Amino acid sequence: MFETPIGEGRAARGTWVDGLNPSQLEAVTSGAGPTLVVAGAGTGKTLTLACRVAYLIEQGIQPGRILLLTFTRRAAREMLERARRMTGETSMGKVWGGTFHAMANRLLRLKGRSIGVRPDFTVMDQADAADVMDLIRDDLGLGERERRFPRKDTMTAIYSRTVNTGVGLGETVKRWFPWCQDEFEEIRSIFQRYTIRKRDHNVLDYDDLLLHWCALARAPRQGKAVAGMFDHILVDEYQDTNAIQAEILRHMGKGVAGLMAVGDDAQAIYSFRAATVRNILQFPTDFPGARVVKLEQNYRSTPPILTVSNAVIALSPKRHEKNLWSEREGRRRPELLTCLDEAEQSDALCRRVLDHREEGVQLKRQAVLFRAAHHSDLLEVELTRRNIPFVKFGGLKFLESAHVKDVLALLRILENPHDEVSWFRVLQLLEGIGPTSARSLMAELGVRREKGPEPSPLRRLLDDAPDCPPAATEGLSALRAALDDCLESGSGPSRDVERFSLFLQPHFLRRYRNPRERMRDLEQLALLASAYPNRARFITELTLDPPASTCDLAGPPLLDEDYLILSTIHSAKGLEWDVVHIIHAADGMIPSDMATGSPEEIEEERRLLYVAMTRAREMLHVYFPLRYYRRPRGLEDGHGYTQLTRFLPPSIQDLFDRRAEYVADDEDVPSSTALGSASGVDEFLSALWK
DNA sequence: AATATCCGTATTTTT
DNA sequence: TACGGATATT
């Protein structure tokens, strides 16, 4: 236990205390009870949390009784590594660190039985959930009707929002999906069946992980037991938690000595995932007697960068009082660069990146940030052409690609022979088997039957070949052989992936236009799998913590080299670089066309830009292409000129060094990207004055 | 019933 | 552009 308020005398043990400012010190040494730390961008939030962990351990709290909830697994690792360096403590690995979902996974496997969760459940990602929705829709015969039924992705979106906000289905549909109101009853019956089906087959989706943890924490006796595992709970990025996560904390918080939440409402960028800033605002109500500590001194950015960032967020109507200031040196103003088009943007960026490297800023210390993953497509081509190495974070579609899903489906059948979606997918790989045959095969094997009594569907398939269309007999026996091999050998997930690749090869050759690339991806997957002790772990960890970057896949050799960071703004959360380049600062990109529906959405886009800008330590470049040659993407017409993002009005533009730079005669650049014609010049200029 | 082909449309951010 | 859905063909 942790009774006495912590004496200041003891706090001086670690020398790391000297580096903290008074507010940080107050947060780090905060005594028992709930504490909210409102930490502006760059105010040393990570340092504070790491110190808090170090401090608690020095106070005699066992590492294994600390729970550190972060937004990504990477963030948890970084913080614990930092705390380890500070204390020299080697048992830091025993701290429970990770995302809410990952932690739910661990806790439910340990303690879930008491609320009726079997510990060998499998975890399903959003795409799998959507496939289940589709299966059910077809079962109900809702596919063939005059009106088009909402798509499977829409249904999972409705489902997830309903669950995570805790608002009723009727309300959710009315408010966020008004065009689906006519199908309300059908949607409801699909959701009912969806719930039952997951339970029968012992599968949990992302939302279930949170819901069941919540149920566990809420249960009077078991809740106490779970909360009793910890003395201290620390939560990072509290502004991006949703209603269920807040409820989990309310229950867990009752049973522990200390609870600390850290967040910044100005950086809330996950409302699309039902996160709500209300959690931060209501913290003092949710946890009576809470202490609130504000961190306002920024250590990251130079004053000119801070000034511009502050100006951007100051235009947010519902801003909370916070005044970031800095004692840092540095007078170089951020640059706002107007480019002719995307090609010029890429070109200008490459030159600036290389210039900075000449000045001694490694590529690794520079990042290119953008709103949507595909915004860097053209840039990636240019970087490759110029031999500038880069690594991209966020938006990685690796796990979503069909061929990877094929392998995962095979692995999942081995782990959970009642996994309908996987069977449905795998059976249809075989030539001569479509949806109908797949269904009847699954019925024959008893996939739909509740998990439990033997023989399992897998066992049945292996024991004797079921009836199938003649064209498929060969394929079916190959499938049986592959499954049998992996079931028998039990020699680790990497082997399984290799074996399944062998099985899949002919199918890839038949179905895909680029089978070789896809086979190469599977080699990567096998490599990735070799780091895991068993299949179950591999599958679960992969869904809960998918490879965050292209470099996670490329393997270690790349790590020694220098490379530029490309990242979505969302994935850049919590990170910092010496030089930050923000591309596509145009209306329609930031704010995204997809997000201009409501004022709330637009405000979130503003915060997104704010988050991007506040990642910069020394220098910030903002790029704005005037013209897009590619698809309209919602812009009025195909090649109209765009506007600079509305979040940078003239008053803020004045805080930048403005440049309109284009390349006229650079041999590196195709001539089509230069101004080209007199009318091009006119358009270019008129757009500048606009 | 499976597969080939065509057409239209939506198109973000992530656990 | 790529994907899903609908229609035509095998």
Within 7 Å of a protein beta carbon, the nucleotides of strand B are 1-3, 10-15
Q: Which of A48-57, A336-345, A455-464, A681-690 has the weakest average pLDDT?
A: A681-690
Place of tokens 């690796």: A398
Phi-psi domain of A598 (left: phi exceeds 0; alpha: psi -120 through 50; beta: other): beta
Q: What is the pLDDT of residues A28-51, one digit of tens each?
A: 998 888 999 999 999 999 899 999
Q: Which of A59-68, A172-181, A371-380 has the weakest average pLDDT?
A: A172-181
Question: Which pair of structure tokens corresponds to residue A416?
Answer: 């959970």
Q: What is the pLDDT of residues A358-376, one digit of tens each?
A: 999 999 999 999 998 888 8
Q: Shortest CA–C1' contact from A397: which nucleotide?
A: B14
Residue A681 has pLDDT above 60, yes or no: no
B11: residue with closest CA to C1': A633
In chain A, the percentage of residues whose pLDDT exceeds 90 is 41
Q: What is the pLDDT of residues A375-390, one digit of tens each?
A: 888 898 889 889 898 8
Residue A248 has pLDDT above 70, yes or no: yes
- Whether residue A329 contacts residue A302, with contact meaning beta carbons closer than 8 Å, is answered with yes
Query: Prior bond to A455 cis, omega within 30?
Result: yes
Phi then psi for A418, rounded to 5 degrees? Answer: -105, 15
Q: Which of A131-145, A227-241, A395-409 has the weakest average pLDDT?
A: A131-145
Q: Which residue has the higher pLDDT, A123 or A629?
A: A123
Phi then psi for A271, rounded to 5 degrees? Answer: -65, -25
Residue A526 has pLDDT above 50, yes or no: yes
| Residue A546 approaches strand C within 7 Å at CB | no
- Arithmetic mean of pLDDT, A608-626: 95
**What local confidence, expressed as pLDDT, does residue A340 receive?**
87
CA distances (Å), A631 to each of A381, A397, A577, A637, A640, in order? 18, 21, 32, 9, 11
Nearest CA-CA partner of A49 in A322, A261, A289: A261
Residue A677 has pLDDT above 70, yes or no: no
Cα–Cα distance between A119 and A107 in angstroms, integer?
10
Calculate the angstrom distance between C1' of B8 and CA of A489: 48
B10: residue with closest CA to C1': A633
Q: What is the pLDDT of residues A442-461, one digit of tens each?
A: 888 888 876 666 788 999 99
How many C-beta atoms lie closer than 10 Å to residue A259's C-beta? 25
Give the three-state DSSP class for A392: strand
- Arithmetic mean of pLDDT, A315-326: 78
Q: What is the pLDDT of residues A406-415, one digit of tens each?
A: 899 999 999 8
Cα–Cα distance between A162 and A173 in angstroms, integer?
8
Question: What secondary structure letter does DSSP report for A566?
Answer: E
Mean pLDDT score of chain A: 84
Exposed, middle or buried: residue A169 (CB in 10 Å: 0-12, 13-18, 19+)?
middle
Q: Shortest CA–C1' contact from A153: which nucleotide?
A: C4
Number of C-alpha atoms within 13 angstroms, CB side, residue A183? 21
Give the three-state DSSP class for A563: coil
Pairing mode, if any, of strands A232-235 and A122-124?
Answer: unpaired
| Residue A143 approaches strand C within 7 Å at CB | yes
Calculate the angstrom distance between C1' of C7 and CA of A569: 42
pLDDT classification of A127: cutoffs 50, 70, 90:
confident
Calculate the angstrom distance between C1' of B4 and CA of A404: 24
Nearest CA-CA partner of A198 in A190, A356, A611: A190
Calculate the angstrom distance between C1' of B7 and CA of A212: 44
Calculate the angstrom distance between C1' of B9 and CA of A631: 13
Calculate the angstrom distance between C1' of C3 and CA of A259: 46
**What local confidence, expressed as pLDDT, does residue A261 receive?**
96
Concatenating the DSSP letter of every residue in A142-187 gives: -SSSSSPPPPHHHHHHHHHHHHHH---HHHHHHHH-GGGGGGHHHH
Cα–Cα distance between A30 and A259 in angstroms, integer?
10
| Residue A151 approaches strand C within 7 Å at CB | yes
Cα–Cα distance between A500 and A95 in angstroms, integer?
37
Nearest CA-CA partner of A504 in A446, A430, A568, A570: A430
Place of tokens 């002790």: A533
In chain A, the percentage of residues whose pLDDT exceeds 70 is 87
Q: Cα angle vertex A101, ends A370, A96, to 5°?
A: 105
pLDDT classification of A667: cutoffs 50, 70, 90:
very low
Question: Which pair of structure tokens corresponds to residue A62?
Answer: 């066992």
Give the N- to C-terminal CA distance of chain A in Å, as an integer: 65
Within 7 Å of a protein beta carbon, the nucleotides of strand C are 1, 4-6
pLDDT classification of A626: cutoffs 50, 70, 90:
confident
Q: Shortest CA–C1' contact from A567: which nucleotide?
A: B13
Residue A258 has pLDDT above 60, yes or no: yes
Cα–Cα distance between A550 and A538 in angstroms, integer?
18
pLDDT classification of A107: cutoffs 50, 70, 90:
very high
**What local confidence, expressed as pLDDT, does residue A4 receive?**
34
- Arithmetic mean of pLDDT, A62-67: 94
The alpha carbon of residue A263 and the mean position of all alpha carbons in its chain are separated, in whole angstroms, by 17
Calculate the angstrom distance between C1' of C6 and CA of A450: 35
Query: Prior bond to A591 cis, omega within 30?
Result: yes
Residue A6 has pLDDT above 80, yes or no: no
**What local confidence, expressed as pLDDT, does residue A637 receive?**
42
| Residue A397 approaches strand C within 7 Å at CB | no
Q: Which residue has the higher pLDDT, A136 or A548?
A: A136
| Residue A631 approaches strand C within 7 Å at CB | yes
Cα–Cα distance between A456 and A649 in angstroms, integer?
64
Question: Which pair of structure tokens corresponds to residue A292?
Answer: 């609130």
- Whether residue A190 contacts residue A142, with contact meaning beta carbons closer than 8 Å, is answered with yes
Residue A2 has pLDDT above 50, yes or no: no
- Whether residue A260 contacts residue A252, with contact meaning beta carbons closer than 8 Å, is answered with no
Number of C-alpha atoms within 13 angstroms, CB side, residue A407? 33
- Whether residue A204 contacts residue A212, with contact meaning beta carbons closer than 8 Å, is answered with yes
Number of C-alpha atoms within 13 angstroms, CB side, residue A172? 20
pLDDT classification of A508: cutoffs 50, 70, 90:
confident
Cα–Cα distance between A84 and A611 in angstroms, integer?
28
Concatenating the DSSP letter of every residue in A179-238 gives: GGGGGHHHHHHHHHHHHHHHHHHTEEEHHHHHHHHHHHHHSHHHHHHHHTT-SEEEES-G
Q: What is the pLDDT of residues A396-439, one digit of tens each?
A: 667 778 888 889 999 999 988 888 889 988 998 888 888 888 88
How many C-beta atoms lie closer than 10 Å to residue A545's C-beta? 17
List residues with CB under 7 Å of strand B.
A 71-72, 99-102, 125-126, 153, 206, 269, 272-273, 371-374, 394-395, 428, 431-438, 469, 471, 544-546, 548, 568, 570-571, 592, 594-595, 631-634
C5: residue with closest CA to C1': A148
Calculate the angstrom distance between C1' of B4 and CA of A549: 36
